């Protein structure tokens, strides 16, 4: 290459791609010969500074050998004498295109969606004009609706406008009443032998009647997993029921947790119950039953029977079975011995061994927890 490649100065030699170029590629100066990729350039092509102007008819940009990778748009179907648009070199002081400030990629995407919707509507209108089906009033309205939808979607997509789901309100634990708890069975090992250590159930429950005052204490063996308060409430309610030993007004029962009681009603594991019953010559291990250990201060209630009941009453009569268990063993402490039923189908006496059987000597009776069931 010879000479200086300045404005208006001829150049000789072979440029990129081996195609000779004559003339000066300056602003508005015609270029002769064949540019890159072999596409002819006609004289008189309109040239202006800045970015090339592409034709909407689908002109394909062709690489051009100018600075910064400028492109040359050529429409091969054009037959007029005007040559394709040849961009001029970009001045160094030309300002870069500015991107309008927005909400980032999301804003640009939604703006593009709105523009595409408007362009689609305009294309439909143009097609209608070509075919003679023009809708001049519907086109602006459709374009406006498309833009409004894009704006609405943009607003709805913003995280600060979304409704934050509220946390579910935690449900309060269900608290069962005394009557409900007394109908439930509780899990326990029928061969459980506890620690043998007892703990008095704290609290005081005054005697409700006016008969002879009988003070008692309630102890529960530690670690057997049963509710001491439920057991203590059951004893007090059962003994002072009008159908129980206090029903005729001869006596009334009062629970204490300190001082000197007349006896101690004790809820204990099957193993510990057996130990205390043997102290009075009684064997409770055969049928896993309870006893009144008369030679001690303790009326022993077998925790397995308290928790699980017996087949004679069944699981649906747990409340009644527990009442019978208390009344039967306290009855022994009050001096009553075993009694059996003599009338088939009648209620069994409370002092009958109802845990073991309701059929004695061929006489079958019905389960009964009360001393005076008709009261």
- Separation CA 184–CA 243 (nearest Å): 23
Q: Residue 94 has what pLDDT?
A: 46
Q: pLDDT tens across 19-46, in order? A: 444 444 444 444 444 444 444 444 444 4
- Separation CA 278–CA 96 (nearest Å): 105
Kindly give, in sequence order, each residue whose CB lies less than 8 Å from that of residue 127, ignoring residues fewer than 6 positions away. Answer: none
Stretch 355-373: mean pLDDT = 96
CA torsion angle 271 277 281 284 (round to 10)? -60
CA 224 remoteness from chain centre: 35
Secondary structure letter of residue 206 according to DSSP: -
3-state secondary structure of 226: coil
Q: For the chain, what is the mean pLDDT?
A: 74
| Structure tokens belonging to residue 261 | 């009681």
CB 52 within 8 A of CB 71: yes
| Structure tokens belonging to residue 24 | 């000066």
3-state secondary structure of 335: coil
Task: Work out the pLDDT band at 139, boundaries 50, 70, 90.
Answer: very low
Q: Is residue 204 over pLDDT 70? A: yes
Stretch 270-294: mean pLDDT = 97
3-state secondary structure of 198: strand
CB 67 within 8 A of CB 90: yes
Q: pLDDT tens across 294-352, in order? A: 999 999 999 999 999 999 999 999 999 999 999 999 999 999 999 999 999 999 999 99
Strands 212-221 and 263-268: parallel
- Tell me the pTM: 0.57
- Separation CA 134–CA 148 (nearest Å): 23
- Separation CA 192–CA 270 (nearest Å): 6
Domains detected in the chain: 1-41 (no CATH), 182-364 (3.40.390)
Stretch 254-282: mean pLDDT = 98
Secondary structure letter of residue 17 according to DSSP: G
Q: What is the DSSP string of 287-333?
A: TT--EE-TTSSEEEEEHHHHHH--TTT-GGGHHHHHHHHHHHHHHHH
Q: Which carries the bigger pLDDT value, residue 57 or residue 162?
A: 162
Q: Residue 375 has what pLDDT?
A: 76
CA 265 remoteness from chain centre: 46
**Listed residue (70, 112, 72) closest to 94, CA to CA:** 70
CB 204 within 8 A of CB 257: yes
Q: Is residue 173 over pLDDT 50? A: yes
Q: Is residue 267 over pLDDT 60? A: yes
User: What count of other Cβ atoms lies within 10 Å of the Cβ of residue 57?
Assistant: 8
CA 148 remoteness from chain centre: 38
Burial of 311 (0-12, 13-18, 19+ CB in 10 A): exposed
Q: Residue 330 has what pLDDT?
A: 98
Q: Is residue 161 over pLDDT 70? A: no
């Amino acid at each position: 290459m010879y000479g200086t490649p300045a404005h208006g100065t001829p150049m000789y030699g072979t440029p990129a791609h081996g195609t000779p170029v004559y003339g000066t590629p300056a602003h508005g100066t015609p270029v002769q010969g064949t540019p890159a990729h072999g596409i002819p350039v006609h004289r008189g092509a309109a040239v202006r500074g800045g970015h090339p102007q592409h034709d909407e008819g689908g002109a394909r940009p062709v690489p051009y050998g100018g600075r910064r990778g400028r492109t040359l748009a050529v429409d091969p179907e054009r037959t007029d004498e005007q040559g394709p648009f040849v961009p001029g070199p970009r001045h160094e002081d030309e300002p870069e295109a500015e991107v309008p400030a927005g909400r980032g990629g999301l804003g640009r995407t939604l703006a593009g969606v709105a523009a595409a919707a408007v362009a689609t509507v305009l294309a439909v209108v143009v097609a209608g004009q070509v075919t003679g089906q023009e809708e001049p009033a519907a086109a602006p309205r459709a374009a406006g609706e498309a833009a409004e939808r894009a704006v609405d979607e943009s607003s709805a997509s913003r995280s600060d406008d979304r409704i934050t789901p509220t946390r579910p309100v935690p449900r309060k634990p269900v608290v069962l009443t005394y009557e409900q708890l007394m109908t439930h069975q509780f899990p326990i090992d029928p061969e459980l032998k506890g620690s043998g250590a007892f703990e008095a159930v704290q609290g005081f429950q005054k005697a409700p009647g006016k008969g002879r005052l009988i003070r008692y204490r309630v102890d529960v063996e530690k670690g057997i997993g049963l509710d001491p308060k439920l057991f203590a409430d059951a004893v007090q309610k059962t003994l002072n029921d009008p159908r129980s030993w206090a029903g005729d007004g001869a006596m009334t029962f009062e629970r204490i947790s300190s001082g000197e009681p007349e006896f101690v009603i004790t809820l204990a594991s099957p193993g510990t119950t057996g130990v205390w019953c043997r102290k009075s010559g009684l064997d409770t291990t055969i049928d896993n039953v309870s006893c009144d250990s008369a030679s001690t201060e303790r009326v022993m209630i077998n925790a397995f029977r308290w928790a699980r009941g017996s087949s004679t009453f069944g699981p649906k009569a747990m409340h009644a079975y527990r009442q019978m268990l208390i009344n039967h063993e306290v009855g022994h402490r009050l001096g009553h011995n075993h009694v059996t039923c003599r009338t088939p189908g009648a209620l069994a006496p409370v002092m009958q061994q109802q845990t073991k059987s309701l059929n004695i000597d061929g006489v079958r009776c019905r389960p009964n927890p009360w001393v005076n069931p008709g009261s």
